[in-house]
Amino acid sequence: MSGPARHHESAVGHVTGRAVYTDDQVRPTGQLTAWPVVSPHAHARVLAVQTADALAVPGVVLVLGPEHLPGVNDCTGHAADEELLPTELVHYVGHVVRWVLGETEDAARLGAEAVRVDYEPLPAVLGIDDALATGSVHTQPKRILRGDPDAVLDDMADGTTDAEGRHVLTGEVRTGAQDHFYLETHAAWAHVDPDGNVACTVSTQHPSETQGVVAKVLGLPRSRVVVTCLRMGGGFGGKESQCHPFAAVAALASHVTGRPVRVRLDRQQDMTITGKRHPFLGRYRVAFDDDGRLLALDAQLVSDGGWSLDLSDPVTSRAMFHVDNGYFVPALRVTGQVARTNHVSHTAFRGFGGPQGMLVAEEVLDRVARHLGLLPELVRERNLYRGPEDGGSADRATTHYGQRVLDNRLPRIWRELSERADLPARRAEVSAFNSRATSRRRGLAITPVKFGISFTKSQYNQAGALVLVYLDGSIQLNHGGTEMGQGLHTKMLHVAASTLGVDVGRFRAMPTATDKVPNTSATAASSGSDLNGMAVRAACETIRDRLAVVAARMLGRNSPEDLVFADDHVFPAKEPDRRIGFAELAYTAYDQLVSLSATGYYRTPNLVWDPAAGRGTPFHYYAFGAALSEVEVDGYTGTFRLRAVDVVHDVGDSLNPLVDLGQVEGGFVQGMGWLTMEECVWDDDGRLRTFAPSTYKIPTVAEIPEHFEVHLLGEAAQDRTVLGSKAVGEPPFMLALSVREALRDAVAGFGPAGPEQRVELAVPATPEATLAAIDAVRAGSTHGTGSGRGAGELSAQQ
Amino acid sequence: MVDHEPLVLRLNGRDVALPGLPPTATLLRAVRAQGLVGTKEGCGDGDCGACTVVLTSPGPDGAPTHRAVNSCLVPVGSVVGLDVVTVEGVAAPDGGLHPVQQAMVECAGSQCGYCTPGFVMSMYAGYLDPAERGPDGVDPEVVEGNLCRCTGYTSIRRACRRLGTSEDDAALGPTVAAGPGAPGATRTLTSVGRSFHRPTTLAAALGLLAELPEATVVAGGTDLGLELSHRTLDPAVVVSLEQVAELQQLERTATHLQVGAGVTLTRLEREAAGLLPALDEMLHWFAARQVRNRATLGGNLGTASPIGDLPPVLLALDAQVYLDGPDGPRTVAVADYFTGYRETLRRAGEVVTRVDLPLGPGAGAATRLSQSYKVGKRGTDDISVVAAAFTVDLDADGTVVHARLAYGGVAATPVRAHDVEALLLGTRLDQATAARAAALLTETFTPLDDLRASAVYRRRLVGSLFEKFCAEHVPVDRVDHPEAVA
């Protein structure tokens, strides 16, 4: 059973402008503003920093440098490879060298412009190819292996078929970076009080790690530092680790000056200073039979980690875990490696490597289908994971890393989606249109999503909550998760209210703070509701059990377990008229010396992962979905229109269908942006040229088709989760792979029908890339030309 | 002698003094400095809409008009005397949500909420605009200039559609009354050592420009506003042409559409709708509503950007540009107007006053085929990779008697393909001719590679857009062509 379709708990604050974000708070007296001085070089030695001119600017108070650090000069959670204030080297264009503190933002900005830095430029590594050629890496290749793919693949060349009807194809696919483009740029405020206690308000998805970084930089115990996140104007992974330096700078500057300090990046700074979704290079060899059934896959994935490690290792691992998407491959080897380049440090972004891995799977499935002249939707369906319940076997429902795909809903989702969207009729309509049209083609594709839920770093799979009931029956709800628009607080209020049987209106959802719930995990990996929901439930159950004893005494009963907490009251199950109101109960509990606050704690059970062996059960469960997209492509320009989207997605028993629907729709559109229009372009000097919404285009309302039907899978309660619900944050992003595959289907329509067709389409499939693919198909070429342009060919802007 | 007046802004129905702010400060900065922090800066470029506020002013017929604008691009001096409504001013005085706000809440139109005030303001302006609102709700087109990274827009579209007109609408009028009447004499706003002059007649404007040669000239400010927003420009003296009555004319004569240089693109789009298909089409793709509400035709000619969207249309239509200045009024063909990269025939102290667009086919022609195209990475609100506009006149026999093929984004100025125009004259523009023209067109210009596209793709589009035009508009022997439907 689903929860109520209740609107976001802050919705009224959003629409009235009263919801407060970090940089909207009332300015404290004497607050200083920090402004960054950034490197114009992709790699350079800092020879000298001259601050005299800057300090002469009226209103400039301080130029913050490494000499001011009382603690450790590092702003990472774990990797210890990012100096907060560079001492010797800068590693990318936009690397912050110093921060200038001013009485006003104008003063700080003018001061920053007046800082003179002398550099000695050093050779830079600008991209994955460059990194591979020069051996510039963050990590050595990791491997996950199932079976013996080489047994087939090593004997056969690209495009050949052996006597047993086995075919082999090889290929390569690249994906580009994606900017998070949260509407609220990074912001952090800090104040160190005279006792040396540090209070920070930060737009952070990981307050506890931010707290740790601030403490490390200031040389303080964590207990001296409180980090609060009011709410974020979007995060999407971009504020999981990349927020730390800004909080640390604000705290450090406050420590040095004794004054409150604010840091708030403008859009250009945010886009040039902070990391993005990892670009990936994927190479593959695949073997398959005449029916398109996959026999073996060998995939090599290399990510561009940028200048520092950040989260690149787990991102790349997740790509490896998801290189199968929803498809069973009997023999599979995947390797993954992080390249080190002189770009921004790429970081978490919704899907966390999963999209890049799954894109390789869809690339492979499309190639296999077109090589055989089969409909891609048939080949995809044939290869879905199927356990015994779907006519398959335990083996056919086990991943390359050995985890059984339990509660596999893909075959059911596929059927439901095909029926809802009327796939055969739609395919026929597309064919009919294409046979009539001369300059446009339509295409459609249906793609699955299978996404593993849990942090692959096992110790992150724990959470805490703190529930405080006051004498009047009002309640504060604290938990370790942060609100970035995903509706976490709204869902947690539902979990808490339904556990205590009270009105949601009794609750105040508190800002996330490290002095309420300590040692929390990042709100990431789609796990916010799963982990915190269980912790909230545990805390509320503790309070409910205590109150039940009090209520039993009030009702003169011996057995508190017979009592029902519902409708804002407590009453015996068989005597609903003998009700005690919750406020009365709370007050009575106080009178009877019963505690009205409780913590809750949860850890995900039974997760096992052996990274060395590449085997285990890293995920608590899988989220499933599938999408059908239909597009129309203009053969003159390569532009396209998304005509229709149909989705069936599995969120278990939804905690809140309104919130979940929003996550599915929003994730899809963000994925569509990544695949079709969002293009990060770096030039030959390592400068990001797309650092504003004038040059970096995310979807607008006009790109959204009128036909956009999302159906949440029914009868879908998930075992061992909070109220039967499932994670929803990331999985829908990858439903958008159907848009790219539909585009490819349309592009294929410009060429001759029949087998041995190959459609190569660059990511993102901009109009230019799509027209290049059309030209290649028209020419009957088997090798597309991608975008026809390297980032290195840029000339000066017009 | 000018009367200098201090900056006083009418904000959510109250007069607010703005000490310490220059008249060139952005409206966004002024509003947030008042503690009204519901209005957000998402980009400072006028591209995300998070800072959208509504300007209420008396319309041509005296009734109030409500325009959504990007407050990050508006110099505060421009809006003194208007009513500025921010998200804090939308709800009823008792705190009751406006229907727009209510619809956004109920449809889950907000997730992180950061873009939401901007959406609310765009929808609020749409709600009060009979051109945007009908029984089916507010046209979601009003939020094309608002970026949301969370929702995927479907919930916001649902909220728009929930706002249909009904009989009890009378109670839901604007919460702020219309501003004061039309301005009289020149107003000069002075603060922090900067002056912002707002002449109301052309004579006064030209007088000021002669007197203040150092002045920065601004109309809607959607280009200049970028520099003010990013503080890369801090002009001491500004002359704003926005209030100049003569520049606001928009008239249709028997033969021409006459567009005052100060007419906003929203007015042009609405009041000239259906007259010139190439103009209609390009205005649809020209930026977003908040920008079209401020941007002017004169501004597009004044900045003379090679990637401006309208110059190709003006070239294809043989527009005449009217200028006035110290040496008196003069008229130039738009084809002569652009002389180099962001350079024009406009002399110091001159302003563009008017542009005349011929409405029909020329002498000897029976049919005019005309259309414009714009290709960007994103269809909506993007700077063009290539913009193109074509005009072909046919005589009664279907022979080409006049041709204009104009482009933006392929050279240092907006340009015409003269050689191919000449080639087309006297032909019947059949498929073979179109293909030959396209092949020639591909070699006509030498555009640049940049972050938006390669030169190869741009050259390709120069030809293929003309082919597309022929396929879609030329009534030739292609009866089975599904795109040849108007």
The distance of A571 to chain B (nearest Cα, Å) reads: 33
pLDDT of residue B262: 96
- Comparing alpha-carbon positions, the chain B residue that sits nearest to A789 is B454
Give yes or no for B316 touching A (CB within 8 A): no
pLDDT of residue B381: 75
Find, among B266, B262, B256, B270, the residue nearest to B239 by Cα: B262
Instruction: Report the side by side order of strands in the sheet with A569-572.
Output: A563-566, A569-572, A580-581
pLDDT of residue B307: 81
- Residues ≥6 apart with Cβ < 8 Å to A742: A443, A444, A445, A629, A630, A631
Q: Please list the residues that pair with A512 across neighbouring strands.
A: A229
The distance of A140 to chain B (nearest Cα, Å) reads: 33
- Comparing alpha-carbon positions, the chain B residue that sits nearest to A797 is B450
Across the interface, whether the CB atoms of A14 and B448 are under 8 A apart is answered: no
Q: What is the ipTM of this complex?
A: 0.96
Would you list the DSSP string of B141-170? Answer: GGGTT---SSS-SHHHHHHHHT----GGGG
Place of tokens 């498809």: A327
Q: Average per-residue pLDDT in chain A?
A: 96
- Higher-confidence residue of A754 and A173: namely A173
Encode pLDDT of A81-140 as tens digits: 999 999 999 999 999 999 999 999 999 999 999 999 999 999 999 999 999 999 999 999
Gap between the Cα atoms of A627 and A370, Å rounded: 20
Give yes or no for A266 touching B (CB within 8 A): yes
pLDDT of residue B176: 44
Q: What mean pLDDT do residues A163-191 have?
A: 97
Gap between the Cα atoms of B220 and B223, Å rounded: 8
Largest CA distance in chain A: 87
Q: Which of A381, A632, A730, A741 is catalytic?
A: A730
pLDDT of residue B60: 66
Across the interface, whether the CB atoms of B105 and A639 are under 8 A apart is answered: no
Encode pLDDT of A277-316 as tens digits: 999 999 999 999 999 999 999 999 999 999 999 999 999 9
Place of tokens 């102290």: B349
Find, among A346, A353, A304, A349, the residue nearest to A325 by Cα: A353
The answer to whether B409 touches B458, Cβ cutoff 8 Å, is yes
pLDDT exceeds cutoff 80 at A535: yes
- Higher-confidence residue of A375 and A1: namely A375
Q: What mean pLDDT do residues A513-521 have?
A: 98
A730 labelled catalytic: yes
pLDDT of residue B283: 94
pLDDT exceeds cutoff 70 at A45: yes
Tokens for A499?
A: 């556990």
Encode pLDDT of A384-399 as tens digits: 999 999 999 999 999 9
pLDDT of residue A787: 38
Encode pLDDT of A244-269 as tens digits: 999 999 999 999 999 999 999 999 99
B445 contacts in chain A (CB < 8 Å): none
- Phi, psi (deg, nearest 5) at residue B138: -85, 135
Across the interface, whether the CB atoms of B376 and A697 are under 8 A apart is answered: yes
B448: three-class secondary structure by DSSP: coil
What type of residue is B97? Answer: L
pLDDT of residue B169: 64
B480 contacts in chain A (CB < 8 Å): 436, 438
Across the interface, whether the CB atoms of A12 and B105 are under 8 A apart is answered: yes
Size of interface A-B (CB pairs under 8 A): 271
Length of chain A: 798
The answer to whether B121 touches B85, Cβ cutoff 8 Å, is yes
The answer to whether B451 touches A695, Cβ cutoff 8 Å, is yes
Would you list the DSSP string of B226-242? Answer: HHHHTTS---SEEEE-T
Give yes or no for B194 touching A (CB within 8 A): no
pLDDT of residue B5: 85
Across the interface, whether the CB atoms of B108 and A8 are under 8 A apart is answered: yes
Give yes or no for A18 touching B (CB within 8 A): yes
Place of tokens 């190819």: A129
Return the beta strands (E) in B301-420 as ranges: 320-324, 330-333, 338-340, 343-344, 351-358, 367-375, 386-394, 400-408, 415-416
Across the interface, whether the CB atoms of A796 and B150 are under 8 A apart is answered: no
Q: What mean pLDDT do residues A163-178 have?
A: 97
Give yes or no for B280 touching A (CB within 8 A): no
pLDDT of residue A242: 98
- Which of A9, A14, A710 to probe by mutation at the B interface, max B CB count within 10 Å? A14
A438 contacts in chain B (CB < 8 Å): 471, 478, 480-483
pLDDT exceeds cutoff 50 at A784: no
The distance of B81 to chain A (nearest Cα, Å) reads: 24
Encode pLDDT of A337-384 as tens digits: 999 999 999 999 999 999 999 999 999 999 999 999 999 999 999 999
10-residue stretch averages of pLDDT, chain B, 486 residues long: 80 94 96 97 97 89 89 96 96 94 98 98 96 96 97 98 79 46 79 95 96 94 91 94 95 96 95 96 91 93 86 97 96 95 93 96 92 90 90 94 96 95 95 94 94 95 96 64 38
Encode pLDDT of A578-608 as tens digits: 999 999 999 999 999 999 999 999 999 999 9
pLDDT exceeds cutoff 70 at A797: no
Tokens for A480?
A: 């370790």
Percentage above 70 pLDDT, chain A: 98
pLDDT exceeds cutoff 70 at A610: yes
The distance of B4 to chain A (nearest Cα, Å) reads: 26
Across the interface, whether the CB atoms of A11 and B44 are under 8 A apart is answered: no
pLDDT of residue B415: 95
Find, among A424, A449, A371, A372, the residue nearest to A622 by Cα: A449
- Phi, psi (deg, nearest 5) at residue A475: -135, 135
- Residues ≥6 apart with Cβ < 8 Å to B397: none
The distance of B295 to chain A (nearest Cα, Å) reads: 16
Encode pLDDT of A641-672 as tens digits: 999 999 999 999 999 999 999 999 999 999 99
User: Does a cis peptide bond (omega within 30 degrees of 0) precede residue A764?
Assistant: yes
Find, among A526, A435, A514, the residue nearest to A486 by Cα: A526
Encode pLDDT of A711-744 as tens digits: 999 999 999 999 999 999 999 999 999 999 999 9
Buried b (16+ CB within 10 A) or exposed e, B451-463: bbbbbbbbbbbbb
User: Cα–chain-centroid distance for residue B388?
Assistant: 17
